[in-house]
């Protein structure tokens, strides 16, 4: 006979004392095994379907930014890009001047 241990469950809604539940009464959910196709074409379709199912699952987990955050990030990218364009143009001009002094 197995020993039963006590598990204390606390939720944010409970303002009272926590509820004590026997550990062996908690049921685990059964994981359903996916059906495996038999033909190569069925395996290929199964793989493609699994890919899109996984991609959709990942997209649902993304925390998308609101309009204000999107504009702030867009402006930040534009300013960052403009800064590096100016930096590269200035460095190019500087090195061109230096090489002309050396060669001439």
pLDDT tens, per residue, the chain with 104 residues: 556 677 776 666 655 555 655 555 556 677 777 677 778 788 888 889 999 999 999 999 998 899 999 999 999 999 999 999 999 999 999 999 999 999 87
89-to-70, 77, 102 alpha-carbon distances in Å: 29, 18, 20
d(CA 79, CA 86): 11
Burial 13-49 (b: 16+ CB within 10 A, else e): eeeeeeeeeeeeeeeeeeeeeeeeeeeeeeeeeeeee
d(CA 67, CA 95): 42
pLDDT at residue number 55: 94
pLDDT at residue number 23: 57
pTM for this prediction? 0.44
pLDDT at residue number 10: 67
pLDDT at residue number 27: 64
d(CA 74, CA 51): 30
């Amino acid at each position: 006979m197995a020993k039963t241990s006590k598990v204390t469950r606390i939720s944010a809604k409970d303002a009272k004392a926590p509820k004590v539940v026997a550990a062996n009464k908690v049921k685990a959910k059964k994981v359903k095994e996916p059906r495996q196709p038999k033909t190569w074409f069925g395996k290929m379709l199964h793989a493609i379907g699994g890919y899109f199912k996984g991609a959709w699952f990942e997209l649902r987990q993304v925390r998308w930014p609101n309009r204000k955050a999107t504009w702030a990030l867009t402006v930040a990218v534009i300013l960052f890009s403009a800064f590096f364009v100016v930096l590269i143009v200035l460095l190019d001009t500087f090195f061109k001047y230096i090489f002309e002094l050396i060669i001439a």
